[in-house]
């Protein structure tokens, strides 16, 4: 199977609206480049055609160019250069690399496969650092946009009593479940196919992670607040540094006080406590 990349410049709908629509339409994450280009992927030429037509129907004036990806890029080359990632107490280790942890390290063995989240993206690393700093043993956790399950699994490895991942991409759920089993936290984790709006139904919890787009994080602030216990914490990531001035006011207006921030390359994550 040959994957295709679609490079998109937003039209009348604007960058943020198109990015959020693409996530909902495809059920997978996107790449946002510095020049404003949005990159999404399709598993074959027919799917790329369908998505191109759908984009034109949603966002008049959007410019879409396509490029075929070498199968080798997706099946093998992504392993090159990957090694253990140290993020506080957490160590993210690909399955093909042997690793002997020290006494205080919490190891997460994970491969991205077709789900996003391997610790190789700045937004994921920033969220993991905040999770390491603020999760307390025994906490109950929700992970919105769980992808490969990396944040859900990391929460369990750090001592959460229960961690639930919510993911709209049904294909990502079995990958996450396999990753949880590999890390021996299957008894304390669960993954469900749904969107973040179900968060209040799965609460109350002590901590929520939301590593999604800024516009979606903003839209989910009421549901995240409802899912948290009083004094609970939410970790928001998936946002570029240049978006921080847009998200801070929304976070404060949503009843959160900011207690910590992390910048990793061009990505910004923030932790807020519910009043």
**Would you say residue 166 has pLDDT above 60?**
yes
Portion of the chain with pLDDT greater than 90, in percent: 56
The pTM is what? Answer: 0.73
Whether the Cβ atoms of residue 208 and residue 132 lie closer than 8 Å to each other: no
Residue 78 pLDDT level (bands cut at 50, 70, 90): very low
Set out the domains of the chain in order of their start, with CATH numbers.
Answer: 4-73 (3.30.70), 77-274 (3.40.50.150)
143-162 pLDDT, tens per residue?
A: 999 988 999 999 999 999 99
**Would you say residue 211 has pLDDT above 80?**
yes
7-58 pLDDT, tens per residue?
A: 999 998 888 888 888 877 876 667 777 788 898 888 888 989 999 999 999 9
3 vs 242, which has greater pLDDT?
242
Tell me the pLDDT of the chain averaged across its residues.
87
Q: What is the mean pLDDT of residues 102-114?
A: 78
Whether the Cβ atoms of residue 246 and residue 217 lie closer than 8 Å to each other: no
Q: What is the mean pLDDT of residues 241-249?
A: 93
pLDDT of residue 36: 84
Long-range interactions of 187-190: CB distance < 8 A, separation 24+: 188/156, 188/160, 188/161, 188/162, 188/163, 189/149, 189/152, 189/153, 189/156, 189/162, 189/163, 189/164, 189/165, 190/162, 190/163, 190/164, 190/165
**Would you say residue 75 has pLDDT above 80?**
no
Nearest Cα neighbor of 119 from 94, 145, 155, 152 is 94
pLDDT of residue 114: 40
Q: What is the mean pLDDT of residues 226-252?
A: 94
The sign of the torsion formed by the CA atoms of 51, 178, 214, 67 equals negative
**Would you say residue 253 has pLDDT above 80?**
yes
- In angstroms, the CA 81 to CA 166 distance is 30
**Would you say residue 139 has pLDDT above 60?**
yes
- In angstroms, the CA 236 to CA 179 distance is 23
**Would you say residue 71 has pLDDT above 70?**
no
């Amino acid at each position: 199977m040959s994957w295709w990349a679609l490079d998109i410049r937003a039209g009348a709908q604007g960058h943020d609206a198109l990015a959020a629509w693409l996530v909902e339409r495809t059920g997978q994450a996107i790449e946002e480049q510095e020049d404003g280009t949005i990159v999404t992927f399709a598993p074959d030429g027919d799917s790329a055609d369908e998505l191109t037509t759908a984009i034109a129907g949603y966002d008049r004036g959007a410019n879409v160019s396509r490029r075929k990806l070498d199968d080798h890029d997706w099946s093998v080359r992504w392993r090159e250069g990957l090694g253990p990632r140290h993020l506080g107490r957490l160590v993210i280790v690909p399955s093909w690399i042997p690793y002997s942890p020290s006494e205080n390290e919490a190891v997460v063995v994970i491969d991205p496969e077709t789900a996003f989240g391997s610790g190789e993206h700045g937004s994921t690393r920033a969220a993991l650092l905040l999770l390491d700093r603020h999760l307390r043993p025994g906490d109950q956790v929700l992970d919105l946009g769980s992808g490969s399950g990396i944040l859900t699994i990391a929460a369990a490895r750090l001592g959460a009593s229960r961690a639930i991942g919510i993911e709209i991409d049904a294909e990502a759920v079995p990958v996450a479940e396999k990753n949880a089993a590999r890390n021996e936290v299957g008894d304390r984790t669960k993954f469900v196919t749904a969107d973040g709006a179900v968060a209040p139904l799965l609460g109350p919890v002590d901590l929520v992670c939301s590593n999604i787009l800024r516009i979606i994080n903003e839209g989910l602030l009421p549901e995240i607040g409802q899912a948290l216990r009083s004094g609970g914490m939410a970790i928001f990531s998936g946002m570029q540094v240049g978006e921080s001035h847009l998200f801070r006011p929304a976070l404060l207006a949503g009843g959160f006080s900011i207690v910590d921030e992390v910048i990793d390359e061009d990505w910004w994550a923030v932790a807020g406590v519910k009043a």
